[in-house]
Amino acid sequence: MALEKPSIKVGKSFVVGGALGGGGSEEEWKVIDVENGVVKYQSDRGDTVEKSDDLFAPAFSFGARPGTEEGTSKIDFQVGSLWPLEIGNKAYYHRVVTKSDGTKREENWRCTVEGPVRVHLSTPPAEYDAFKVTCTTEINVHTWHLSPFIVGALKYTRTSVASGAIEEEDERHDLPPRS
């Protein structure tokens, strides 16, 4: 069983719940541009994110709303590919993040496709078979659950490597931008 990379088109909207890390409110993101494999998203709160159409690769730029962290990043290199999603596929991304204040940090994203796993959603109550995609960095572990039967992600979780605490958790039916 494999899952092909979905096509992302201008005008596509994603509603993201913010149960943890998002203040408990929903946020809508819209695709405002797609060019040469780069997708630009804008939220109804004024944030912007640019990232690869790879979906799991880290963002190229982020921030715009006053009071949010802004910056850019450059993916120096990528090894491997997760697409089409198949159990055992791996990818590695190295990026340098530059914040608007000029500070820099390097990140190494190590991603793996696992599965099959059973995912339980609370709203609406349902269970789905899904692929589990895990990307581990020095700071966080990002986990997505994607079903071959539903377009988009079923669940996303970001967990702190240092504390093990869940910093963000969303149930949804589409893949929104992540930094």
Point out which residues pair with 144 in neighbouring strands. Answer: 133, 156
Q: Where are the domains of the chain?
A: 13-171
Q: What CA–CA distance (Å, rounded) separates 102 from 74?
A: 14
Which has the closest alpha carbon to 93: 147, 137, 42, 49? 137
User: pLDDT tens across 110-145, in order?
Assistant: 999 998 888 887 766 778 888 999 999 999 999 988
Peptide bond into 124 cis (omega under 30): yes
Q: Does residue 176 register a pLDDT over 50?
A: no
Q: Which fold has domain 13-171?
A: YmcC-like fold (2.40.360)
User: pLDDT tens across 81-103, in order?
Assistant: 999 999 999 999 998 988 888 89
